[in-house]
Structure 1
């Protein structure tokens, strides 16, 4: 797969849909499909895919209890979510070098980036915040157990991101440092760069994120 080209982008950017869901990922292993629903919500105007359609699609493709990212990306290009007399497909997918901040920011300016991560440390963080928007993920160590799919949906300084999410930077965290906004389990939080790199194992940009048929 080709890689995302580098382009000049603003200092900060965020996709923050007004309506979110966990899309069954609290009880089932459909994180890869739930991320697709989140990506559709980042469209302007926002497209909210129902929980019922996410369940229907995931079950029809055998990915309600686990999936590879690339399989779902390929299926979504040809047979996306169907709702309200429209089909919402993905555009073509390209790999993103998540270890290169300039490349990743360039990708995130164009759309949310689908990433595969090791979930243990992230789940501990989100659980401590009751899976509500506004959590902070810092100090993660390297984990090679890729077992979860999330979406990076913005970048900027930690302070700027916190302001957009209507939360405050906890004491002990340097708000001037760069960070990323991340969607998972029905919430959006902030992860610092070293922690994101420590748990990420693949990254994909859809171009465009949504194709309305």
Structure 2
């Protein structure tokens, strides 16, 4: 029974990943306003009805594609931090790196998001990370952190990151553009670090307690 459940969950995850990947790919190729749910479902090899079981809109699927495996990458970075690194530093550095490590592909995706009010809202909403993934990484990294504290820290980190993203997305300046698209001003990394550093004393206190 457990094996069947595991297989079923893996298939659901694979379907969700296929849909979000197809949504992002089509949005990057055509522009998000030119992508239909039917197009995404067809590209992923499923029916539109199946699509609706996973995402309520095309924007949700596109943003899921942008954020693919983000929680896992952040958790892995926390666990990979050098021995002796303060837990707060490990968490802050991991989040900043995964959100603000700009590659040409990342920049193109962010330009697409900032050009669409709906995508900006969906992206900001999506920043709250899975508490379980981050909390489990904290527990594995530092055994002195109890399960409740780990969940509170995980939820707080997600909230702080969301505030930083919302503020950064609100700084778009029409006078600055790339290929006709307005872009946010200032450094996303700096905004993330400024928001997250507020949590540092609480994160480190959870370890010392």
Same fold (TM over 0.5): no
TM-score normalised per structure 1: 0.29
Q: Counting strand residues as a fraction of each chain, which structure ranks higher? A: 1
If asked which structure has higher relative contact order (CA below 8 Å, sep 6+), I would say: 1
TM-score normalised per structure 2: 0.30
